[in-house]
Amino acid sequence: MMKSISSPLVLAEEIDDLWKDIESPTCTNREYFRRAVELEAKCLGVNKWKFRSLEYWYHALVNPKWSSIFLYRVAVYHKLRGHGRLAVIFTRMNHILNGCDISINAQIAPPCFFQHSRGIVIGENVKIGPNCQFHGNCLLGRDPLELGGKDQYPRLGRGVFIGPGAVLLGGIEIGNDAVIGALARVSFSVPERVIVSSPSAQIKRNLTENEDPQYRIRRSS
């Protein structure tokens, strides 16, 4: 039986500890992969993260909330080790099993969750901060009308919520804890803790102190 995501504040300290380890110059690619996968597994209630565990493989390959991000991390792991063909294989598996297209050149910080992975497209050089949540059929990529290099891709801060069908294009920045509503087309930078509504994608209002995106894991104060 699939378990639900843990309480928002349970893993705040573990997230901070992970980033301290990643910022260390001694952090290896293998260690980063292990810590990231362990953290995202715990967020889904898989507290006994074991490579040979049946529950682990069920969530890793069948659970749509984790399978897509897990296969992305495996692909990036092999890319950084110089196994280009394996990286492509796992990227194709993600496309077939979960219906999402995530570039191995995108930078997605852990933990990250896809509530519905079908139709999600994340282009090259997109940068995503920790604790972000995505819903189906959203697209993050380069604006075809913009000229420029690799910087012309969206950059998301911490705890950003992307609603179903949202489209983020160009070299824009989405501030921490921002909420992008369903079907919104955003081609401008968004400040922290605001709600962007559809269909014309305009800032609707600021979040109140008591409001937080559902299922998001908050950073401890």
The whole-number pLDDT of residue 88 equals 93
In a domain, residue 1? The reply is: no
Cβ proximity of 162 and 135 under 8 Å:
yes
In a domain, residue 184? The reply is: yes
pLDDT single digits (tens) 127-170: 998 889 999 999 999 887 666 655 689 999 988 999 999 999 99
The residue range of the domain holding 170 is 14-206
The pair of structure tokens assigned to 168 is: 């983020």
**120: domain CATH number?**
2.160.10.10
In a domain, residue 216? The reply is: no
pTM recorded for the entire structure: 0.79
In a 13 Å sphere around the CA of 115, the CA atoms on its Cβ side amount to: 18
N residues, the chain: 221
* Of the listed ranges 28-42, 62-76, 81-95, 107-121, the one predicted with least confidence: 28-42
Share of the chain above pLDDT 90, in %: 36
| Rounded-to-integer distance, Cα 6 and Cα 19, Å | 20
Share of the chain above pLDDT 70, in %: 73
Top mean pLDDT of 11-25, 86-100, 149-163 is at 86-100
Provide the b/e sequence for 102-129 (b: ≥16 CB within 10 Å): bbbebebbbbbbbbbbebbebbebbbbb
In a domain, residue 41? The reply is: yes
Answer whether the bond into residue 25 is a cis peptide, omega within 30°: no
DSSP assigned state of 84 = H
The pair of structure tokens assigned to 82 is: 């110089």
* Of the listed ranges 28-37, 84-93, 167-176, 198-207, the one predicted with least confidence: 198-207
DSSP assigned state of 5 = P
In a domain, residue 215? The reply is: no
pLDDT single digits (tens) 53-91: 676 777 777 777 788 898 999 999 898 888 989 999 999
In a domain, residue 6? The reply is: no
* Of the listed ranges 39-43, 48-52, 71-75, 148-152, the one predicted with least confidence: 48-52
Count how many domains the chain has.
1
In a domain, residue 111? The reply is: yes
